[in-house]
Structure 1
Amino acid sequence: MGEISILEFNEHIAKYKTAFLCGNGFSMNFDSDFGRIYDNLFTSHRAVINNSIFDVKSNKAFTRKCNENFKSVKQYLRNISENTLFKIFDDALIFAETIIENSKLIDEMWNEKLITRLVFGLSQVDIVNRICEVGRSKGIKFVNIEHWTILIYFYFAIKQLSPVYYEFPNNNSFLTILKVGDKSNVRLLPTENQLNEHVVFNGFTTYYRFLFSIAIFSNGKAFDLSLLSNIKNLELDGIKKFLNKFDLLLSLNYDKIMENVADKPVEHLHGEFVKDKSEYVYCQSYGLKFDNGYVSFSDILIGDYFIFKSFLPVVHNLSKNSFEKKMQYPSKKIEMLIKNRSINSVIIFGMNIENDQHVLRNLMLAFYHSQHQYPQIIYCYFCPEEKKDFEEQYQAVITFSEDVNRYVKNISVSYIKTQDILKEYFY
């Protein structure tokens, strides 16, 4: 696991069939809005209330549940102020702290299997801990936007458990909005899945997906290069030359910046913004009317791993309606692309490993199933802490069978400073 120079990096991508996998750190170079999502939140809230379009195509029970719960939340939040919006997240932090402080509650949730640990060690309670650590030390605007949804799960899990030794915090606006979003009494799933049903179909969950998707969309910046604040300071020809060195472009982002610059297709692993077209995923269409038309983001996966990047994609794939957007589970998509394009090297750029450990595991398994002889990963890091986190998580996620572990441990992993690439190609 060594450090490489920009010269060695360039030689590497010229020699191997290489994929470029980017996270939000890529888009942040083009506009600071992609790094300051919370700053756009109240503008996004107003857009949810006034310009969002939520449509459901299904049977009466399904349609009623989705619409009743979302309309209930929209009506409740219609006239809130910016301070009131952020107080919801302040109160969510208070709720998170009451969970962490109650060891008896956590023990019983483990015993009842309401908390589970993934094979690489992550549990739901670890995400709550992270919310508390970051929220206390830096403030709620620094909490990973993917993490908050785990608290929706904990609310309904605690309600189901109904422990006599725990009391929900009083006058808590976050908990109030979850109650408002649980208005419908329709039940869609079997008893064993009703906890997940409460989370997935809560009106606040729908609102949350709209809120952050629209904030990230940033009034069209996700589509239009001319709107990006830093575009004049970048060497677009150099970035295009850089991106066209790769045999495959992969993105964890929803925006269209990379394909617009490279002028070639990009595979979006967690969904994407689609202009002027309504799309349905699991019978639901999420969209927004904005200044230059309409944008759909129905397939965007936003939220914690346990429900929104694990359970929800499986649910989506159960739908067989002809009008549905054809979804492919991210792990299968990565495996297919790596194998079909004969990719034996992946550059990871602008991706914080937090909450995306599954992406790393998917890459490992894709290499294994393709049985490449000399698989390689190069991780681009912005600061030493980012490199350290990646190194730790890389080892932590190697929890496969003995045969797979042996193969994965032979993957060559190298590191390069993101700043070296930015200097060479971006500026």
Structure 2
Amino acid sequence: MQLRYRVLTAAVTALGMTATLSGCGGDRGSGDVTLRLVAADYGTGPANSSRKYWDGLVKGFEATHPGIKVDVSVHSWKDIDREVAAMVKKGQAPDIAQIGSYADYAKAGKLYRADQVLSIRTQANFLPSLAEAGSVDRTQYGLPFVASTRLLFYNKKYFAQAGLDAPRTWDDIRDDAAVLGQRGVTYPFALPLGPEESQAETMMWLLGGHGGYIDDSGSYEIDSDENIRTFDWLKTNLVDKGLVGPTAPGELDRQKAFDAFTDGRVGMLNGHPTLMQEAEAKGVSVGMVPMPGIDGPGKNSLGVADWIMGFKQQGHRVQLRKFFDYLFTDKNVIDFADEYDLLPVTDSASAAMESDAEYKPLWKFLAALPDSQFYPYGKTSWARSRESIKENIGRAVEPNGSPKSVLRKIARDSAVAAAAD
């Protein structure tokens, strides 16, 4: 997300506590049970709070599964990870948590494996790239709840007025940005490398340069030759040429860049489905293409996922399996994705949306998702690596900045974190 790119601020639903906390971790297969679920709210306020989704889903589940109740409470995305961590530390882990990461809890042995809380059919229905992203040491613990991917957005009005075609390569981006800048566009290319979500912008560019955060063996390679070349190109061809607008990339957060696009002050930037809806609502005509790469359209887009997981502490594996199998039916998956302009995480729900003209605006994103590359969610060290990227990457493109030095600093931080993984 975390998913909603995190475009929307969230409030979480922590579904209430069971009357008795056993802490034994054994299975309880009979008798009345109350599941406690903690879930993030993807809405911007009461009118579109995720609580409405969960209330409706829980009502349907309880009606068809007598003897199992589900309690829900709400926290914001700012608080949700901290709230769940506090519950676990107190020995009061929820039965279900829908949050932004799972690896720490999996490594600590606190989560059920996916095959323990899902039917074979449900587990096999996840998009393979998402199932892999939810795995630690090749065992899946994180159940993908919702996903998103990125495309390059451009202002179709500005491109048409300038006689420009949609970019396919980095050189096209540079050349188009130069024309837009000459025509007075405030941000010819908005490059948000500020601390809000620069790990996403960074990864999109690294993928386009045939690099990334990790190598084929799963080890960090943040200061690879390919990655250094990518940021050398960005600095020389966009930033140094004054094609990224009046705000230094290291000071530009993603939301500010999105706001500038919806206000008609941006020619190009990397975006996700929610931005498409917001821009068109404000009268901005949006074009979208796969993220251009160094030598052609990129083969892999950035994918982002949020996760849901089952904790072992209360021993409700049997009930969790029933709940998760219900949760991941096509209707429930599509209802949530549709409400928040996000993408479904299962093959069958994706196929249903791809065959329904109602969801045509999302088709390009759906097409990009199966081949998307995800953050190394299965590494507990990823949290520290991500923070180092957010703290440092903007300096790589400063006037006197050194991409090689900055990437090596991030690589060292990541290696230290990985040593304790």
Pick the TM interval, shorter chain: under 0.3
Q: TM-score, normalised by structure 1?
A: 0.25
Q: TM-score, normalised by structure 2?
A: 0.25
Q: Counting helix residues as a fraction of each chain, which structure ranks higher?
A: 1
